[in-house]
Amino acid sequence: MTIEGDRIYLLGATGRIGSVILPELIKAGVQVTVYARSPAKVPKAENITIVQGDYDDLTPFENSIAGHTRLFLLVADREDLDKVKIAFGTRAYAAGIKQLVELSARRLPWRSYNVVHVHQQAEDALYAIKDRGYHVVLRPTNFMTNMTDYDTIKNDNRIVDSADSDEQQEWISPADIGTVAARILLQPVEQHKDVAYELIGDVKTPAQRAAIISKLTGRTISYSQLPVQELYDFFIKAGETPSMAYYMSTYQSLSPVSRGLPLLLGRAPEKLEDWAANNKDLF
């Protein structure tokens, strides 16, 4: 149950994760303010206020954050992601929010991957703010939707990676991330305090992924293990930055499924085969 008088400010409401969070907040009847570049994409409801704004000019945010008790902070990938998140979070704490729920990333060895390092920089800076409200962090692993970003399954009937075919790899459903965030935002702030939650929903090998999608689609989906240089070149050709291409072509899984995830979700996490069945059109 939310605390009476709660007002939640939401960044990233129209993406894969935010589109799961917002309906839950609407259904709960809590007052929500959505910060969006394109207001037309935001669902309309009596308990929703929309503020048009972007990451480069925070004036609309500064003028509307006062009076809110919680902030969900999701910033789309960009080179200065850490600076943008710190700017939003600092202003929110200064305005008196009681809880900031930040979408971060898995903790990896310091500065090993720039795409993850910027999240760590922002997370550490926000945590270090004096006299702040609570700081809850969600650290998801690889999104299941990442498997379909480059259409190799749809166009070439193959999965590509540099991993061995039997290497365990971590995955999380965006819907599970959104569900965890929504539940935290609708529970007392004291329940989660300053906890950081690792979110790994399922572990599957490349060979298992190929078998799941083959069965689902009725097509033979193969797994192609590429030399790391070839995979890196593939991502560069697809338009990724060098730092992102390096991360995507060299990342190795580190951990098993998060044991506490059912407690956060109120149910079992979504398995890769269930997510694939629910998103069959992507393949």
pLDDT at 69 over 70: yes
Report the pLDDT value the prediction gives residue 4, as an integer from 0 to 100: 61
12 in Cβ contact with 76 (< 8 Å): yes
What's the rounded Cα separation, in Å, for the pair 205 and 58?
Answer: 43
Indicate whether this model's pTM tops 0.85: yes
Percent of the chain, pLDDT > 70?
A: 99
Q: What is the pLDDT of residue 62?
A: 97
Residue 24 in this model has a pLDDT that exceeds 80: yes
Average pLDDT over residues 162-188: 97
For the stretch 28-48, pLDDT in tens is: 999 999 999 999 999 999 999
Looking at beta carbons, which pairs linking 29-33 to residues 24 or more positions away fall under 8 Å? 30/2, 30/6, 30/185, 30/186, 31/6, 31/7, 32/7, 32/8, 33/7, 33/8, 33/9, 33/64, 33/68
Tens digit of each residue's pLDDT (9 = 90 or more) over 72-119:
999 998 889 999 999 999 999 999 999 999 999 998 888 888 889 999
Top pLDDT among 79 and 231 is at 231
For domain 7-142+172-202+255-270, the CATH architecture is 3-Layer(aba) Sandwich (3.40)
* Torsion 61-64-66-67 (CA) sign: negative
Collapsing DSSP to helix, strand or coil, 243 comes out as helix
Beta-bridge mates of residue 224: 160
**CA dihedral of residues 256, 262, 263, 264 (deg, nearest 10):** 90
For the chain, give every domain's residue range: 7-142+172-202+255-270
Phi-psi region at 266: left, alpha or beta (left = phi > 0; alpha = psi -120 to 50): left
The C-alpha atoms of residue 156 and residue 187 are separated, in whole angstroms, by 45
Checking if the pLDDT of 203 tops 80, the result is yes
pLDDT over 90, % of the chain: 90
Handedness of CA 19, 73, 40, 4 (dihedral sign): positive
Q: List pLDDT tens digits, range 46-62.
A: 999 999 999 999 999 99
3, pLDDT greater than 80: no
With bands split at pLDDT 50, 70 and 90, how would you rate the model's confidence at 268? very high
CB atoms near residue 30 (< 10 Å): 20
Distance (Å) of CA 124 to CA 102, 115, 118, 185: 11, 15, 10, 21
Provide the edge-to-edge strand list for the sheet that holds 31-36.
48-52, 31-36, 7-11, 70-73, 99-103, 134-140, 196-199
Q: Which residues contact 173 (CB under 8 A, 6 or more apart)?
A: 143, 144, 201, 202, 269, 270, 275
Q: Is 1 or 212 the better-scoring residue by pLDDT?
A: 212
- Residue 158 · residue 222 · CB < 8 Å: yes
Average pLDDT, the chain: 94
- Both tokens assigned to 11: 């960044």
Residue 11 has what pLDDT?
Answer: 96
**What is the total residue count of the chain?**
283
pLDDT surpassing 80 at residue 274 = yes
pLDDT attached to residue 79:
87
